[in-house]
Structure 1
Amino acid sequence: MSSHSQPDRSIWAQREERSNFATLRLMVWISLRLGRPFGRILLRGIVLYYLLLAPAARRASRAYLTRVFGRHARWRDIYRHLFVFATTIHDRVYLLSERFDMFDIRVKGGELVDAALAAGRGAFLIGGHFGSFEVLRAIGRTRPNLRVAIMMYEENARNVNAALAIVNPAVKQDVISLGRPEAMLEAREYLDAGAMIGMLADRTLRQDGGDTLLPLEFLGARVGFPLGPMRMAAMLKRPVIFLTGVYRGGNRYDVHFEALADFSETARGDRAAQVDAAVTRYAGLLEKHCRQAPYNWFNFFDFWRESTQTSDETSSRCAPPEHTESARTFDA
């Protein structure tokens, strides 16, 4: 029997995308024609709408903020939380348009990316639903050899991704869609060409028992973190770099690269222990950034309740063989 738990379902994954494509497309048009300051004015009204009419997201925000603050979260805390999320989505319009001069982006740990590029074997960039991944595009300006392929399940943010694809159709070129047998082969091809593989690793993705969880303490309670992303990195024998693009207000983002794991020399017999260690470190880094920048956490469902349910329902099952899929990633 295994101490790891395995989910049959994912509450967040079952939730329909709330965004309306026509509204999103209009927002993209307004943002590009009238500019970021005017777009941010509209965002405040949109956020107020969701604050009042999206009770599930509101409850999830309050529960998380209460946990991270150690006090009851107030309405203005929840509004700010939703506004930071909306801002990062809005800013994707400009980042995808390569209008990087609009932002003050500060990088820490960029030498880790430089070392991976110099080695020529690629690396995994592992983040979470925290801050913005798109700011990585700005880093690419100073590193012309940096190419990042995103591994993701695309269906949960179909409207947002389709609207943003209008801004820059080339964004779809480096997406590896999960849920297909050839996904891991495509990832290996990118890595062998020296590219990075970007993934998010904080959510349970599968509803059919296809992923395995490692229960860990996270912000004061047990949470099951998926092992899939680290297993893939271990099987492909690549280094893993933790990435966050933290929104700091105004036009500022802080990008952090931190060493997470290096599976380049991992023997098969040591793989499971090293994967567990990497996931544990990942959870610790994610918690650190949640405490430092709490409004950048973008899991608007009951993260702890879902994990507890899936763990309780499946704790008596044996863990499946290692598979090649990872966490559902990069939905808005």
Structure 2
Amino acid sequence: MKDVEIGTIFLEQISKKRGNALGFWFFRLFLRMGGLFAAYTLLYGVALHYWLFDGKAVKAASAYLRRRFPESSPLMIRLKCYRLFVSQGKQLVDRMAAFSGGADFNFRLLGQDNLEKLANQQKGFVLLTAHAGNWQIAMTTLAGFKKKVYLVMLPEHNAAVKASLGISGEGDFIDTIPPGGAPGDILRMIKLLKEGHIVSFMGDRAYGAVSGSVDFLGEKAQFPLGAFAVAAAAKVPVAVLLASRVGYKLYDVDLTNIITPVYEKGENKKSQLIRWSQMYADILSAFFQQKPYQCFLFYDVWKQ
């Protein structure tokens, strides 16, 4: 299987880049023997290794950090890069602990009224996530609702994401679906939404799909438009899900932002899709203003 994108660094890379699962084994051992704090201690050394020797990871992280901290010097950006690596590493450790049963986490659900309304409607809805915070852990908050979640993702990412979410079979409330590379894929997404299911997209990276130019952290960036196109076609709302680590074993899961894409006659459809995508970009920018070290995009979406 191909390497998972650089945005899933550290724990996944330890296994893949070093040729075996030794890194995972060490983290699991530290987690089992000493709990989260022991695993976090190991993490600092791992993050330091990538900070010192993985130029590709540093460059990818710096694309975001330069826009988020435009006043910072190159040296400060480099130091902030290490802090960002540690932040993501802790959330990956949390994710491993949560899905292995090694620790119990508390969640503060923001926008619970929105979620209950969406869950009770006959149709489903589009769930729009981002390379921000710990969206995998946040998915567990949807387990109690009678709607199956379909994650839209590239086939080469399926195994890694299924493993991280503990997806094992048809009985799980989460499954995967390929992106809309063919007309049949789009039609299936629309059908699932009309049947009452949830279709989840990552909204901050296009992966070669149709995109539009939006203002993001002070510069023009390319964001995918597919989530809004599918939602508009199925006539369902888009719920933005953002999960942030706010303390030891504590996460905020934010579902306060709902976007309802309805085409207006006489206006160019792509222009409307870009307008909705801009709303999402503004929500994401505000999130990163408050939580600057929880952006794990690790890709230069501003590069033209």
Q: Pick from 69, 80, 83: which aligns with 1:80?
A: 83
Contact in 1 for aligned 2:149/2:173 (Cα 8 Å): no
Query: Alignment partner of 2:136: what SS?
Result: coil
TM-score by length of 2: 0.81
Q: Pick from 105, 119, 122: which aligns with 2:121?
A: 119
Identity of matched residues, %: 25
Q: How far apart in 1 are the matches of 2:256 and 2:217?
A: 20
Contact in 1 for aligned 2:238/2:258 (Cα 8 Å): yes
Q: 1:98/1:242 Cα in 2 relative to 1: closer, same or farther (>3 Å)?
A: farther
Q: How big is each residue's C-alpha offset from its partner over 1:107-154, in whole Å with a ceiling of 9 and x where there is no partner?
A: 21121111111112111110211111123234236x342532211114
Look up the equivalent residue of 2:240 and give its one-letter code: F
Partner of 1:262: 260
How many residues are aligned here?
A: 285
Q: How far apart in 2 are the matches of 1:188 and 1:254?
A: 30
Look up the equivalent residue of 1:105 and give its one-letter code: F
| More divergent stretch after superposition (35-44 vs 171-180) | 171-180
Partner of 2:206: 204
Partner of 1:9: none
How many Å apart are 1:98 and its aligned residue?
6.1
Query: Alignment partner of 1:102: what SS?
Result: coil
Partner of 1:223: 221
Contact in 2 for aligned 1:242/1:260 (Cα 8 Å): yes
Q: Pick from 110, 118, 123: which aligns with 1:108?
A: 110
Look up the equivalent residue of 1:198 and give its one-letter code: S
- List alignment gaps of at least 5 residues for structure 1: 1-11, 309-332
Q: How big is each residue's C-alpha offset from its partner over 1:194-221, in whole Å with a ceiling of 9 and x where there is no partner?
A: 2221111111212xxxx33221221111
Contact in 2 for aligned 1:24/1:163 (Cα 8 Å): no
Partner of 1:164: 164
Equivalences for residues 126-275 of structure 1 within 5 A: 126-140=128-142, 143-156=144-157, 158=159, 160-161=160-161, 163-164=163-164, 169-170=168-169, 174-178=175-179, 179=181, 181-206=183-208, 211-263=209-261, 266=263, 271-275=269-273
Q: How far apart in 2 are the matches of 1:18 and 1:157?
A: 16
Query: Alignment partner of 1:203: what SS?
Result: coil
Q: How far apart in 1 are the matches of 2:131 and 2:62?
A: 17
Query: Alignment partner of 1:87: what SS?
Result: helix
Query: Alignment partner of 1:303: what SS?
Result: coil
Query: Alignment partner of 1:107: what SS?
Result: strand
Look up the equivalent residue of 1:41 and give its one-letter code: T
Contact in 1 for aligned 2:15/2:23 (Cα 8 Å): yes
Look up the equivalent residue of 2:84 and give its one-letter code: H
Look up the equivalent residue of 1:20 and give its one-letter code: S
Look up the equivalent residue of 1:257 and give its one-letter code: L
Partner of 1:51: 51
| More divergent stretch after superposition (226-235 vs 149-158) | 149-158
Partner of 1:326: none
Look up the equivalent residue of 2:154 and give its one-letter code: Y
Query: Alignment partner of 1:174: what SS?
Result: strand
Q: 1:266/1:103 Cα in 2 relative to 1: closer, same or farther (>3 Å)?
A: same
Contact in 2 for aligned 1:56/1:301 (Cα 8 Å): no
Q: How far apart in 2 are the matches of 1:128 and 1:27?
A: 29
Partner of 2:280: 282
Contact in 1 for aligned 2:214/2:221 (Cα 8 Å): yes
Q: How far apart in 1 are the matches of 2:55 and 2:173?
A: 33
How many Å apart are 1:287 and its aligned residue?
0.8
How many Å apart are 1:241 and its aligned residue?
0.8
TM-score by length of 1: 0.75
Instruction: Give the structure, 1 or 2, with the largest relative contact order (CA under 8 Å, sep 6 or more).
Output: 1
RMSD of Structure 2 on Structure 1 (CA): 3.0
